[in-house]
Amino acid sequence: MTRSAVQAELRERLVAVAVRSVADHGVEALRAREVCAEVGTSTQALYTLFGGMPGLIEAAVAAGFVGLAGHVDAVPESDDPVADHLVKGWAYTDWALARPSLYRAMFGVTDPSLRHHVPVETTMAATHLAVGDGRTALDVLVRSVSRMVDAGRLRPAEPLPVARQFLSATHGYVLLELAGAFGEPGGGLATMAELAVTLLVGLGDAREDAERSLLAAVAAHQRLVAGEPSS
């Protein structure tokens, strides 16, 4: 194996450990010595490959966005692009709610009282990834919006601004859910369903069609969670 291949493999392993650590314990608990010890390398390797902890955190955040995009993009598609779009939004929330600490780190949402600690300060420099690698996840939504527009379910529009509207609603829901604003876990799903229909109708879909697609999305999501084949 060449030196560059060895470094690439080591880099990948360090990022994987960092992602898991952030997901399990939060970015505040990430420590260079512990990450390197788990991989079986020295802290010098971390500084060589990433330039320090800020670089490793940025790489972990980037990997988070790629993982989120892949999870959403893996949702099977049907002949109903609106139902598919709603299921993709559901997949987004499922992924985020299962990894709250990682999701917060991806968007630079950390406890303000902890930002003076070095590991947390570095996450502030990584928030630009919501535009860089974060665009990988957004592009999945852009393609989904394009399908709805092409099918005539939404008024003709540039897909990116519309995708940002859906992203804003979904991201807001995730943060409120993580904060316990809806009471029991998942308590805000009814509100999100109503919001989704309202947004779709405002963008040009007929209410009856939007509600029908919502019912189809609920059934599709249940099959997806259960691991059943799509119909």
Per residue in 151-194, pLDDT (tens digit) is: 999 999 999 999 999 999 999 999 999 999 988 877 888 999 99
Q: What is the mean pLDDT of residues 112-122?
A: 44
What are the sequence ranges of the domains in the chain?
Answer: 61-226
pLDDT value of residue 120: 44
Q: What is the mean pLDDT of residues 128-141?
A: 68
Total Cβ atoms within 10 A of residue 114: 14
Q: What is the mean pLDDT of residues 135-154?
A: 92
CA distance 209 to 197: 9
- Return the half-sphere exposure (C-beta side, CA atoms, 13 A cut-off) of residue 196: 28
* Buried residues in 171-192 as b, exposed as e (16+ CB within 10 A): bebbbebbeeebeeeeebeeeb
| φ and ψ of 191, to 5 deg | -65, -40
How is residue 182 written in tokens? 């809806």
User: Is 60 exceeded by the pLDDT of residue 122?
Assistant: no
pLDDT value of residue 110: 62
| φ and ψ of 12, to 5 deg | -60, -40
Overall residue count recorded for the chain in this entry? 231
Among positive and negative, which fits the CA dihedral 102, 107, 111, 116?
A: positive
pLDDT value of residue 118: 44
User: 17 vs 125, which has greater pLDDT?
Assistant: 17
* 108 contacts 37 by C-beta, under 8 angstroms: no
DSSP state of 11: H
pLDDT value of residue 137: 77
pLDDT value of residue 131: 52
User: pTM of the prediction?
Assistant: 0.86
pLDDT value of residue 87: 97
Is 61-226 in CATH node 2.40.160.20? no
